[in-house]
Amino acid sequence: GQNIDQPTEMTATEGAIVQINCTYQTSGFNGLFWYQQHAGEAPTFLSYNVLDGLEEKGRFSSFLSRSKGYSYLLLKELQMKDSASYLCAVVRGDYKLSFGAGTTVTVRA
């Protein structure tokens, strides 16, 4: 089966840094996506990791360790508009996506 775990909720202050962890156990692995989803809207792409290491893209960075079945998304210089749900999604061996339940991030002034 597929098992993808991420925290349910996180709260941080505007301007701060937040790290969202994701651990996974899936049947095969062909990469890991992070998506942002605002309530009632479709997910939007943030990052993709297939090799171990850190991928940096502006205020967002994503890290992957395949041997540990672990990834994190790092959000820096938090802004109010970053309040959303963040989804970890693993590309399985059959190239389909399995999603975690999502982490709701609330940014406070």
Partner 1 sequence: GAVVSQHPSWVICKSGTSVKIECRSLDFQATTMFWYRQFPKQSLMLMATSNEGSKATYEQGVEKDKFLINHASLTLSTLTVTSAHPEDSSFYICSARDTGVDNNEQFFGPGTRLTVL
Q: In the window 69-88, what residues touch partner 1 (CB under 8 A)?
A: 87
> Contact with partner 1 (CB under 8 A): which of 10, 12, 46, 97?
97
Residue 41 φ then ψ, to 5°: -120, 170
- Using CA atoms, how far apart are residues 82 and 94, in angstroms rounded to an integer? 32
> Ramachandran region of residue 31, left (φ > 0), alpha (ψ -120 to 50) or beta?
left
Residues 6+ apart with CB under 8 A from 81: none
Number of residues that bind partner 1 (CB under 8 A): 23
- To the nearest whole angstrom, how small is the minimum distance from the Cβ of residue 79 to partner 1? 22
User: Letter for the amino acid at 69?
Assistant: G
> Contact with partner 1 (CB under 8 A): which of 20, 36, 43, 105?
43
**45 counts as binding partner 1 under rule CB under 8 A:** yes
Nearer to partner 1, 39 or 109 (CB): 39
